[in-house]
Structure 1
Amino acid sequence: MEHFNYVVLTILPVFMVIGIGFVAVKWQLLPNNSHKALAAFVLNFGLPAAIFSALSSKSIDQIWHLDYVLIYTLGSLVIFSLVAVLSLYFLQKSPTESVILGLGGSFSNSLLIGFPIIYFLFKDRALAPFTLTLLVENLILLPLLLTLAEISSGKEKVSLTSRLKETANNLSKNQLCWRLAWGYWPR
């Protein structure tokens, strides 16, 4: 029973915030599309600042764990492959739809749900593995799988090299990627 209470008390604040947001929109205290502005603020300013602050105070040895990166990447690719293959052969989805479903299946909701929960549970100790998760998702998996989705669509005949260059260019504009890089920058 003690573990159940701990789980409830851990998850309850997240669902309370979701409920408050729902009520605020329902009662028109916030406009219908205000979630976009709030999410943009959190993703572009709040989370990158928290990550940078946490990482910049630690040495690279305290943060970087290659085994975690490899295992998380491999696990995500296995789940992606399973979901994509099941979608393609059993659900009879197109290759592009299968890639998109695989992408959805292999990504955890680490930013909006995962981060508040693990930070509540583990405080600053959670930030290093959490940033490694973001690193894998944003710098390895997302570019790879979105490039695969574009290739599987077959709409444009563009070389893999040009697609990867375009992906790298888009990543260079991502604030979260910059904060990850600055946080890991050797001191």
Structure 2
Amino acid sequence: MTPKRNLDSILRGIREINQRLNNDRYITASTGALTRNWLPNLDNIIQLFAQVEYSFHLTQILTGHGYHRQYLHRFKIAETDKCNCDPNAVQDILHLLKDCPRFIRQRVQHMAICQYLKVKPFEISDLLKRESTIKLFIELSFLRRDNPPDAVTDASELSGNILIKFSEQ
């Protein structure tokens, strides 16, 4: 073995050991639980940011630090951590993405496309399998209330229209 190959092998081994140590530190950290729920290991983080750019909205989803009442209430900026849609529902990022009726249009669109493409709509590691689905998820994260909740009366009709539109692109 030549000295160059030997050095390359040693450096590769050091990188692998560092990657394992950093991943173990990430997995066992006392903070960042929501981020780890979305991205269970450092490989998922690397894969995510190889496909998309950092953004303010994505950071809010991954960390739970954003403009939702649970977070704002924690710092006494909001009077309550409850959502306007239900006085018993805590308005956190997961509620806004998965349950809040104010964002049903965006959620139904995202879920319909994910169903069509056979990926789990709220698992980033699964969404990363297709670049288009992770980008749709990030668009969902903007959570703009373009239409009032009563504008969507038949979710199945809406999802069918979305799939037709998506498959034509």
Aligning the two structures, in what range does the TM-score lie when normalised by the shorter sequence?
Answer: under 0.3
**Structure 1 length-normalised TM:** 0.22
Higher helix proportion: 1
Query: Normalising by structure 2, what TM-score?
Result: 0.23
The higher relative CO (CA closer than 8 Å, separation ≥ 6) is in 1
Structure with higher strand content: 2
